[in-house]
Amino acid sequence: MRAYERLLHYVSFGTQSDHTSDTVPTTPSQKILGAALVVEMKALGIEDAFMDEMGYVYGTIPATKGMENKPVLGMIAHMDTAEDAPGDNIKAKVVEYNGGDILLNEEKQIYLTEKEYPSIKKYVGQHLVVTDGTTLLGADDKAGVAEIMTMAETLMNDPTIEHGTIKIGFTPDEEVGRGADHFDVERFGASFAYTVDGGELGELEYENFNAGSARLVVNGLSIHPGSAKNAMLNASLLAMEFHSMLPVEQNPRYTEGYEGFYHLGEMKGHVEQAELDYIIRDHDAQKYEQKKQVMQDIADYLNHKYGKGTFELTITESYRNMKEMVEPHMHLIDNAKEAFAQCGVEAQTVPIRGGTDGARLSYMGLPCPNLGTGGHAYHGPYEHITLEGMDQSIQVIRELIRIFGEQE
């Protein structure tokens, strides 16, 4: 089975995580996909495949004869999808791309356009998996799951391909920053690993944001507007005042590369209370700490202005830049670059403008860079990925496994 066929099957499972939930995983649907993956893995001959009570899926591809003492390598992807767009009842389809705009939905006249997504121009003559423009696709990261599973099928069915022990891991809740919370690194048993998550073909990433979330609760005072002079505190307006004091240029819309940002993801409120949810990101640890301090300073200033307890700011850490954990093991990067080169793919070492389970896992003792899956426009209705890119990604993974098998 080709990877795209698996992807089309996996996206039929609605597996959005939920940042407001305190359960593990945050949504029960993730365990439904996890259970299906265990059944599939066992059918491939991965005898120890299982899902734990937290929804993490593990399995082992045994080393071929004579390769048992080679480094144990892990391959990891996440099962959940983002909350940023509808993620149920996905109507995915394969289109042959011959140039121009792609009609996703005839009834609603929704197009994937070259103007908005110029990267599609390089895929003329290839085949794209797309949606009907009303939901996300879920290639982030079910494409990674599909590529790892297809790689596993190849290795399990062809004993002539020599390799060391390969560990497989599929995580829940990566999109809400909790994917590594309950990952059992010791039980996983790998010396090193790669996440196969997001990014176009050739992307190789071992730098990511330092990341946190900030929740601001603003407490106002409601009084009849006819007699509100010098008395009413409109929480919604105070929330707007707080946001207006953040640096305008440090908005995601105006940042790129290594530049960090504050991102207001959700807000709701009325006169008596308003709630704002932010994420804070920066590759530079010092600048990240400064961003957190700026938010705290604004809250303190406004509490002094309007009264103690008016602004309640809670900042929660999500993950750290994995760079310092990976740099002592640069053979992970060198091996990946060699694998890309052997497969005729140009490696692009770029900073992740987001997060990955690998960041947390690297700090948990499992150095874990990221390999791109071949997709684009994640977290939205224009998400797409090429069949050919997925096939090449599998070739890269296989080549990477071969390279590790030649090392002591």
Check if the beta carbon of residue 219 is closer than 8 Å to that of residue 312: yes
**CA separation for the pair 283, 291 (Å, rounded):** 12
174 is annotated as an active-site residue: yes
**CA separation for the pair 273, 108 (Å, rounded):** 38
Residues sharing a CB contact under 8 Å with residue 158, sequence separation 6 or more, in sequence order: none
- What DSSP line would sit under 107-175, residue for residue? TTTEEE-TTT-GGGGGGTTSEEEE--SSS---HHHHHHHHHHHHHHHHHHH-TTS----EEEEEES-GG
**CA separation for the pair 346, 338 (Å, rounded):** 10
**CA separation for the pair 297, 291 (Å, rounded):** 10
**CA separation for the pair 205, 199 (Å, rounded):** 9
406 is annotated as an active-site residue: no
Which residue has 């497989």 as its token pair?
Answer: 168
Closest of 294, 291, 292 to residue 316, by C-alpha: 292
- What DSSP line would sit under 295-323, residue for residue? HHHHHHHHHHHH-TTSEEEEEEEEE--TH
Residue tagged active-site, from 40, 80, 147, 197: 80
> In the beta sheet, which residues pair with residue 193?
74
Residue tagged active-site, from 140, 173, 174, 399: 174
260-289: b (≥16 Cβ within 10 Å) or e: bbbbbeebebebeebebbbbbbbbeeeebe
| Catalytic residue positions, numbered | 80, 174
